[in-house]
């Protein structure tokens, strides 16, 4: 059950990542919530590869706040989040 909650929250982060990258919706609240979730999860599960990748994606959200976007980090974040979401629902 907890894994599904994390998957849904990762889906929220993926949504925020996509809409912010393409400037469809630029909401500081969405960016802040996504950042805090990824930082919190990255710190709690620190040491695991996917949690460290969460921290990298969180740093990218900080760059979003300053208006900086990188396509490579965007696609990397999308792939990592999709992987985590799919693996959460499969297992």
DSSP string, the chain: -HHHHHHHHHHHHHHHHHHHHTTS---HHHHHHHHHHHHHHHHHTTTSHHHHHHHHHHHHHHHHHTT---HHHHHHHHHHHHHHHHHHHH-
Provide the pLDDT confidence category of residue 23 given band limits of 50, 70 and 90.
confident
User: What is the number of structural domains in the chain?
Assistant: 1
Average pLDDT rounded to a whole number, residues 33-49? 93
Provide the pLDDT confidence category of residue 15 given band limits of 50, 70 and 90.
very high
Domain coverage including residue 46: 2-90
Asked which of 25-34, 54-63, 73-82 is least confident by mean pLDDT, the reply is 25-34
Percent over 70 (pLDDT), the chain: 100
Q: What is the pLDDT of residue 43?
A: 93
């Amino acid at each position: 059950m907890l894994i599904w909650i994390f998957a849904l929250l990762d889906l929220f982060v993926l949504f925020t990542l996509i809409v912010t990258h393409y400037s469809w919706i630029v909401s500081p609240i969405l960016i802040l919530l996504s950042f805090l979730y990824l930082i919190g999860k990255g710190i709690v599960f620190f040491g695991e590869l996917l949690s460290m990748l969460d921290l990298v994606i969180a740093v990218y959200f900080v760059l979003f706040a300053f208006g900086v976007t990188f396509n490579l980090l965007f696609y990397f974040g999308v792939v990592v989040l999709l992987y985590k979401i799919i693996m959460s629902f499969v297992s």
